[in-house]
A and B are shown apart, each in its own frame.
Chain A
Amino acid sequence: MQINRKKTPGFEEIKKIKYIKAKKTSLKNGIPVHYINAGTQDVIRVDLLFNAGVWFQEKPLVSSTTNALMGEGTKKYNSQQISEKFDFYGAHFNASVDYHAATVSLYTLSKYLNETLEVLEQIVKHPVFPIKELENYIRNKKQDLTIELTKVKTQARREFLKAIFGENHPYGHVIEPEDYEKVNTKQLSDFHKCLYNASNCKIVVAGKIDDKVLKLINRYFGGKDWQGKENIEIKKFAVKTTKEKRIVVEKKDAVQSAIRIGCELFSKTHPDFIKMQVLNTVLGGYFGSRLMTNIREDKGYTYGIGSVIFSFKESGYFVIVSEVGAKVCKDAIKEVKKELKCLREELIPKEELKRVKSYMLGEMLRNFDGPFALADAFIGVDAYGLKYKFYDEFVQTIKDVTPAELKKLAVKYLDDKKMIEVIAGKY
């Protein structure tokens, strides 16, 4: 049988994205629980989310340090006992903060849920913030940061955020090594007391979920023993973008320069958000993007270049990110601007746009694959006050958006004269 290798064997367009939605229930004390029963493995992930991110802190590092130290000693267990317990059951405990939310997560085999939840309860409700653990944490984190600060990409990222949002805005604030000296245990226990309580909590559970799982969660977190203040005050911060257009951080021996070029954008809730995702994908959001095709695959200036839209609750930004050979830094930036100009002045060819649309829909399928991905997808809308409807609109908008609409958006949002350039390394 002779086959035609020059021609695609044909493929189906993705028409609809089917995915499992989170179901909602609540604990006896009113904490909302969103659960996703999916997957083949007997595993469970439990996330407790609190409005206790960076936005809510009075002093630098208080939010992240509180979150990180909750697992380092409680009334009942010391730090070593906690890690021994989790490790013994093959469970994984993770604590993280972003600008708005603080999360404590437990990954466990279903059969050890009871034993591991018992430890999680202690961590969430009764942390004691031992001074010894704080000192250890500070010592190590401070050193990590010193190492991090020698990287050109870190330098560029920090200067860029400061420039876009201003240092007094939570999105623009960056940590300095000496900030670590100023954190004390009282700040941590106060922050914990105020924000880590049932009234400020939401739970997301994913994996093999049945009534027994929900009962156990109720047992450990459903009591009235950890209520707090309702309606936490949410502060306002003003964005103060710098007037400078180019910021250069010199590093004399750099063989590559890190570049960041971008501007403030908006949150996920903005009406142009989804269409901008399409435009961004064309420009620098996938391997076949224009930036990759031109600056890596045609010129060979870099190992990688891309553009990203970061969206947070109150704002967001657009940024082009790369590390390029120090000698070709200026040329690379020139090419970036050429690509932006092209999006503003010319319509995206139909074939290219079709490919981007297919790729994005495929990406959505990948983002909904598996119970943990489904949990992330839920959090990805819920954190912004959006509903699952967002994803349906996402699919529809991707399908419908036209080259003319995208050109208009490029004129509106991708004007390099309004962007800030940061170069760390040699320029």
Chain B
Amino acid sequence: MIEFKRKTLSNGLKIIVHTDKTSPLAAVNLLYNVGARDEDPDRTGFAHLFEHLMFGGSINIPSYDNALQSAGGDNNAFTNNDITNYYVTLPAENLETAFWLESDRMLSLAFTEKSLEVQRNVVIEEFKQRYLNQPYGDEWLLLRPLAYKKHPYLWSTIGKEISHIENARIEHVRDFFYKHYAPNNCILVVSGNVNPVKVFSLAEKWFGPIEKRNVPVRNLPVEPKQTKARKLEVERDVPVDSLYKVYHMSDRKSKDYYSTDLLSDLLSNGKSSRLYQNLVKEKKMFSQLDAYITGSIDAGLFVVEGKLADKIKMKTADQAVVEELEKICTKPLKKDEFQKVKNKVESTLVFSEMSILNKAMKIAFHELIGDAADINSEPDKYLKVTPADIKKIANEVFAPTNCSTLYYYSKKQ
């Protein structure tokens, strides 16, 4: 049970505090409700580029990092298709430093040309390092536009192409900032060795004077139901063939999310799971095989991906996966098997609550998609799932017409 206190400032900033006195540290997490899905289709990669610019100096403080490190703090951030999340950990007694820094960059950035030019290059190098210069690095650049035709999940956080980043101008940056970075578009969570009253007063002092901004209401195109199986084949300079099958699934808030998550656990969580036991160990068709869900806020994807064992044909491997998925659609689950994934939910939860930073991030995310209190009621939602729910959802998700398949061939063959 995670206990917390909350407050909302008059400018709309939500603050949630969770005290954990066993740590000497404080974690400060700011979740901005903006991600790659909010980008203009002709200017993709912007939310992520922007995350980089947030470290390029704010209106009153030339170096965010120097100031934080001097107070013994460390920080980082990530951007995904849904959110941009910034986090700091520092000695609890130096908490105010984080408020000073974070409030200044919410107030306004320095917006220097130099910072933009450098971060453009850095992000281009990141694009190369993670997506172009790695074996299979472009898998998601191929899968997203195959599975999504309308919804902005069709592009990756890094962007559709390098030119979108190259073309970023300072006025786009400024515009993006005032559109999305605002107290009324942010959730601030503080956890660790902190006193909620003190945190609220610090929040009032540093964030209170920032004015509410006009944040556009999100109105994203809905992905139309897929009615025909899709397929893409590519050949790349990689040593091993790889197979991907992605299926549309529910959004994060749906009741179906929990059954779908458990469905992926049954197939692929742990060495005792079906895909590993049957297709990696018994039939020896794959050297690695995983099933997981993307967990995105809007309707997401159920992903099955694997590296083929030597001399196994792509079609044979594909067929073997399909048969495993059919099995779970038609045959009853073993009792132990079902109990197992439920037990795992409990243990994953207990272990995930060991770190104050992890707790802060989870609280912020739950607040964004509904209510921070759901962090405590979520396990029950998993425990309520029945074998019948699993069967129902498996049949919906694994419908052949709901599938996009990618054959990623090794050039050698």
User: Which of A5, A108, A299, A325 contacts B107, CB < 8 Å?
Assistant: A5
| Range of interface residues on B (Cβ < 8 Å) | 35 or more
Contacts of B65 in A (CB 8 A): 287-288
B interface with A by C-beta (< 8 Å):
20, 22-25, 59-61, 63, 65-67, 69-75, 89-91, 93-94, 96-97, 99-100, 103-104, 107, 117-126, 128-130, 132-136, 205-206, 209, 237-240, 269-273, 277, 280-281, 284, 287-288, 307, 309-310, 336, 339-340, 343-348, 350-351, 353-356
CB proximity to B under 8 Å, residues A152-194: 152
Contact status A87-B270, CB under 8 Å: yes
Stretch in contact with the other chain, from A8-16, A46-54, A312-320: A8-16
**A-B Cβ contacts below 8 A, count:** 222
0/1 string, A348-384, CB within 8 A of B gives 1:
0000001110110111011011111000000000000
Q: Smallest Cβ distance from A295 to chain B, in angstroms?
A: 10
A144 contacts the other chain (CB 8 A) = yes
Contacts of B90 in A (CB 8 A): 362
**CA gap between A304 and B117 in the complex, in Å:** 16
CB proximity to B under 8 Å, residues A332-352: none
Stretch in contact with the other chain, from A135-143, A212-220, A240-248, A402-410: A135-143
Contact status A146-B239, CB under 8 Å: yes
Contacts of A359 in B (CB 8 A): 69-70, 72-74
Contact status B309-A139, CB under 8 Å: yes
Contact status A301-B125, CB under 8 Å: yes
Contact status B69-A288, CB under 8 Å: yes
Task: Check A361/B72 contact, CB under 8 A, given A87-B340, A355-B66.
Answer: yes
A238 contacts the other chain (CB 8 A) = no
User: Which of A5, A298, A362, A369 contacts B72, CB < 8 Å?
Assistant: A362
Contact status A8-B67, CB under 8 Å: yes
Contact status A14-B72, CB under 8 Å: yes
Q: Smallest Cβ distance from B299 to chain A, in angstroms?
A: 29
CB proximity to B under 8 Å, residues A83-118: 83-84, 86-91, 107-109
Task: Check A144/B287 contact, CB under 8 A, given A6-B60, A151-B135, A354-B70.
Answer: yes
Contacts of A369 in B (CB 8 A): 23-25, 355-356
Per the CB 8 Å criterion, the residue count for chain A at the interface is: 76
User: Which of B59, B63, B96, B270 contacts A86, CB < 8 Å?
Assistant: B270
A201 contacts the other chain (CB 8 A) = no
**CA gap between A14 and B73 in the complex, in Å:** 11
- Give B120's nearest chain A residue, CB to CB: A300
A296 contacts the other chain (CB 8 A) = yes
A-B contact pairs, 30 of them (CB 8 A): A5-B59, A5-B104, A11-B96, A38-B22, A42-B350, A80-B281, A83-B271, A89-B347, A108-B347, A136-B280, A139-B287, A140-B287, A143-B287, A143-B309, A147-B240, A149-B239, A253-B237, A256-B133, A286-B74, A288-B69, A299-B118, A302-B125, A303-B123, A355-B69, A355-B70, A365-B24, A365-B25, A366-B25, A369-B25, A370-B355
Contacts of A121 in B (CB 8 A): none
- Give B121's nearest chain A residue, CB to CB: A300
Contact status B350-A43, CB under 8 Å: yes
Interface centre among A79, A84, A304 (most CB of B within 10 A): A84
Contact status B71-A323, CB under 8 Å: no
A415 contacts the other chain (CB 8 A) = no
Contact status B272-A9, CB under 8 Å: no
Contact status B240-A40, CB under 8 Å: no
**CA gap between A10 and B71 in the complex, in Å:** 8
Task: Check A11/B339 contact, CB under 8 A, given A297-B118, A300-B119, A301-B121.
Answer: no
Ranked nearest first, the 8 interchain pairs of A and B with the lowest CB-CB distance are A300-B121, A362-B72, A90-B347, A83-B271, A11-B71, A303-B126, A83-B272, A87-B270
Given contacts A39-B354, A146-B240, A325-B128, 9 further A-B contacts (CB under 8 A): A8-B100, A11-B96, A41-B350, A41-B354, A79-B271, A84-B272, A87-B272, A369-B356, A425-B133
